Structure 1
Amino acid sequence: MPKISISCSSPIKDIETTKFLHKTLGWALGSASNMLAMGEKGFFYTCQLYLSDHMEHDKKIRAIISFFQSKNIPLTIIEIADDEDWGSVDPDNLGEIKINEAQILNELNSSDDYGD
């Protein structure tokens, strides 16, 4: 059951995106704006997949990817194993654990728990 985190690949200042994080993920507007301004180091969504709340995470991940693609804002998605700790991740060396949007969507689509 992998763990993922999602951030913007580059720092952005965009009110629509800030409002999206506020509405979809419950971030306060100021906090959402700060996370987006941090770019790749401002992870605004983190979860562990395939637990009892998987469908909720699946829905949010798909909404995030869809929204950011519609705005042409690239995302950074990192994935670690369930037995790894986020504290061991080097924020200056994310390349080895990055996955792209197609990879996470394929992973979600191939999940036994996935359904419409």
Structure 2
Amino acid sequence: MLTLYIIDTCDTCRKARKALEEKGIAFKTYDLRKDGLSAGLLEHILEGVALVDAVNKRSKTWRDLSQEEKDSLDTSARQLIIQHPTLLKRPLLEVGDKTFLVGYRDGDYDQLGG
């Protein structure tokens, strides 16, 4: 079964969930804020998504970080993401072992079938 990693208040996550439901695709959701983001789960995600692609530099959370935190991203990214799950790009759709679709735009899930 597919897993959709979301933050419930994210509009793009809602669109992704709706697209999967409309296609009749079975999936479970995992709310990164409510359900928590452990170091183990983050490592699991980063096995399928490059760290540079996982950090959402367009988020309010990113903009609110100090310049020092942004500059130390190479060494502290994992710790920052665990502290601030909204730094992780989302939604993340886990479609297979170590295979993730990052973000969502209309039509992204068309190839998944139903």
Q: What TM-score do the two structures reach when normalised by structure 2?
A: 0.31
Q: Which has the higher contact order (CA 8 A, sep 6+)?
A: 2
Q: What TM-score do the two structures reach when normalised by structure 1?
A: 0.30
